[in-house]
Amino acid sequence: MTADPLEGLDEQQREAARALRGPVCVLAGAGTGKTRVITRRIAHGVDTGAYSPQRVMAVTFTAKAAGEMRGRLRALGVTGVSARTFHAAALAQVNFFWPTLAGDQAPTIIDNKVRMIAHAADGVGLSPDTATLRDVAGEIEWRKVTMRSIDQYAADRPGGIGRLNVDQVVALQRAYEKLKDERRQMDFEDVLLTCAGMIEAEPRVAAAVREQYRHFTVDEFQDVSPLQNRLLELWLGDRRDLCVVGDASQTIYSFTGADSRYLLEFDRTYEDARVVRLERNYRSTAAVLAVANDLMRGRAGALELVAAATEESPVPTVRAFDDEETEAAGVAASIATAVRGGADPRSIAVLYRSHAQSAVLLSALAKQSIAATVLGGRKFFDQPEVRQAIMALRAASVAPVETGFLATVRDVLRSVGLTDEPPAAGGALRDAWEARAALLRLAEEAPEGTTLRAFTDDLQARAKDQHEPATRTVTLATLHAAKGLEWDHVYLIGVSEGLLPISYATTFEAVDEERRLAYVGVTRAARTLSVSWSRGRGRSERSPSRFLREIGSGSLRSADAFARPAGASRRAGAANASPGRSDR
């Protein structure tokens, strides 16, 4: 260990990092440094001898987050910790124990659940469309992570899916399970169920797992499902060395089975639990946090975020547009002005509720010659031009180098298509150019003395950990995809009834989830936040979101957002929607 892991932590972060023995619950608001606290806590435990790295399991929800955790631990001098997703940890255990228990290799994992459901549908004489097949897949996942049998599912979800009635849905699910068993395959949910079943039924498996792992940390605990929580209980056994970290205000996956009650009721489950609240925000300005706090005030488990920085910042704005096209054009024009004024495109994001909102934005940005990347598309290291460039760099690394490291990287990238000036914004050519340019920037940022071989090794490690470089483009992302990320400048669009909250959110619980989505969007902004909505026309006419009214005029500055355009009587409703706190 090269330095004190607790160095640089604030008082609350230090308190959490020093709490080495569980049960510990860290309520960590957006931007409060939870990943830093998790990794420093583990490093402090190793440094003091309280933990053996090989006995620590740190669980999170995405491979990218697990990779970041491993990278931070390596930087702190800690290796050997098992930092994985629930599924990766469970799959490793299933593959290890299955041959001993069953005498053969574990079943393979389905690579396409929707395709197998389609095959199962053929077997029972059903022909649902692709959208229905996807919905059935989602229902199967929900049924399993909430630990329901098919019969229990039928009782709890009697409405059917699309044109399929509940009896047909049940028949299709049974056919899917039968086909899967015949092919000796498992889906991702089966991995968790199988791992839990092994530990529960086989004492020797339980003993081996509990001997291997003594200390558990679970990130994003508000997103744990009943099945994941059950598996965690089985991993723990009768021990209590558990640290959970989460934020109830960022629970946005209830529709997939996530249950924030495990976080909110942690101190009831473990009556002697130590609870630490992290509310000092290191990401956003006070003006942005005022919007976030207004949005969540009075909600269960909500934290009151306080800005660490004290500098003045612009009050977030809210604007109204006639329709989605003019909204996209207005946002694109604002972004173009910011970029011409020196803003880095990588520091700008446009966030929205639905993927369908991205198409008009891409078009509007292209007209302003602004390149954009849609988050959730093809992964950076999966792009063919990136693979080609890395192969070329790898080949160059085994040949005698006559020029310097950076000059060699630049020459190799030019040989595969990098030019001094980018092509026009929009399209595959610009995307390819941006990807190659991102590789060059990584080389430019490499430590002095880096060799070409070390650089290509680092690229391969990045690809494995999904540690992708930022291309010099504006980011477009759904609110779900944006969780865990941050940008200096955020445009939150489509904040109208029917979009945010989405039209099918009709219950209090569903609307509250939409509120948390809006909160996630707001708290992605570090310096400036611009909110907008469009009125639409005809059947698509919309009113401003109820969330705008609840935030209040003290936190959002109206930029013609609720003004009634001259001669536009059809918008009279919007004129009365001036910001102001509504009854809760």
Written as one string, the DSSP assignment of 367-436 is HTT--EEETTSS-GGGSHHHHHHHHHHHHHHTSPP-S-HHHHHHHHHHHTT--SSPPPSSSHHHHHHHHH
Please check whether residue 4 lies inside any domain of the structure: no
Please tell me whether residues 477 and 567 are part of one structural domain. Answer: yes
Please tell me whether residues 297 and 363 are part of one structural domain. Answer: yes
Please check whether residue 3 lies inside any domain of the structure: no
Q: CATH code at 133?
A: 1.10.10
Please tell me whether residues 58 and 198 are part of one structural domain. Answer: yes
32 is in an annotated binding site: yes
Q: What is the DSSP letter of 6?
A: T
Q: Which residue has 């053929």 as its token pair?
A: 122
Please check whether residue 283 lies inside any domain of the structure: no
For residue 530, the SS3 value is strand
33 is in an annotated binding site: yes
Q: What is the pLDDT along the chain (584 residues), one digit of tens a residue?
A: 457 889 999 999 999 999 998 799 999 999 999 999 999 999 999 999 999 999 999 999 888 889 889 989 998 999 999 999 999 999 999 999 999 888 889 999 998 999 999 999 999 999 888 888 988 999 999 999 999 999 999 999 888 888 889 999 999 999 999 999 999 999 999 999 999 999 999 999 999 999 999 999 999 999 999 999 999 999 999 999 999 999 999 999 998 899 999 999 999 999 899 999 999 999 999 999 999 999 998 888 899 999 998 778 889 999 999 988 899 999 999 999 999 999 999 999 999 998 878 888 988 998 888 888 888 766 677 778 888 888 889 888 887 766 788 888 888 898 888 888 777 655 566 677 778 888 888 888 888 888 888 888 888 887 776 677 767 889 999 999 999 899 999 999 999 998 899 888 889 999 999 999 999 999 999 999 999 999 877 667 889 999 998 887 678 877 654 433 333 333 333 333 333 333 33
Please check whether residue 99 lies inside any domain of the structure: no
Please tell me whether residues 77 and 137 are part of one structural domain. Answer: no
Please tell me whether residues 486 and 566 are part of one structural domain. Answer: yes
Please check whether residue 358 lies inside any domain of the structure: yes
Q: What angle do CA 202, 204, 206 make, to 5 degrees?
A: 70
Please tell me whether residues 388 and 368 are part of one structural domain. Answer: no
Look up the pTM and report it. 0.81
What pLDDT was estimated at residue 445?
A: 80
Q: How far apart are CA 351 and CA 330, in angstroms?
A: 15
Longest dimension (CA), the chain: 78
Q: How far apart are CA 229 and CA 33, in angstroms?
A: 24
Q: CATH code at 484?
A: 3.40.50.300
Helix (H) or strand (E) holding 485: none
Torsion angle of alpha carbons 187, 188, 194, 199, nearest 10°?
170
Contact 489, 343 (CB under 8 A): yes
> Sign of dihedral through CA atoms 508, 513, 517, 523?
positive
Please tell me whether residues 18 and 133 are part of one structural domain. Answer: no
30 is in an annotated binding site: yes
Q: How far apart are CA 88 and CA 314, in angstroms?
A: 43
2 is in an annotated binding site: no
67 is in an annotated binding site: no
Please check whether residue 96 lies inside any domain of the structure: no
Last residue of some domain: 148, 163, 183? 183
Last residue of some domain: 215, 246, 278? 278
Classify burial at 105, counting beta carbons within 10 Å of its beta carbon; exposed 0-12, middle 13-18, buried 19 or more. Answer: exposed
Please tell me whether residues 81 and 220 are part of one structural domain. Answer: yes
What pLDDT was estimated at residue 397?
A: 83
Please tell me whether residues 267 and 330 are part of one structural domain. Answer: no
Residue 296: which domain range?
Answer: 288-377+473-575
What pLDDT was estimated at residue 242?
A: 95
Residue partners of 455: CB distance under 8 A and separation at least 6: 393, 397, 405, 409, 442, 443, 446
Please check whether residue 100 lies inside any domain of the structure: no
What pLDDT was estimated at residue 377?
A: 62
Please tell me whether residues 435 and 329 are part of one structural domain. Answer: no
Please tell me whether residues 333 and 396 are part of one structural domain. Answer: no
Please tell me whether residues 477 and 372 are part of one structural domain. Answer: yes
507 is in an annotated binding site: no
Last residue of some domain: 278, 308, 328? 278
Please check whether residue 584 lies inside any domain of the structure: no
Task: Give the count of domains, the chain.
Answer: 4
- Please report, as a single letter, which amino acid is at residue 113: K
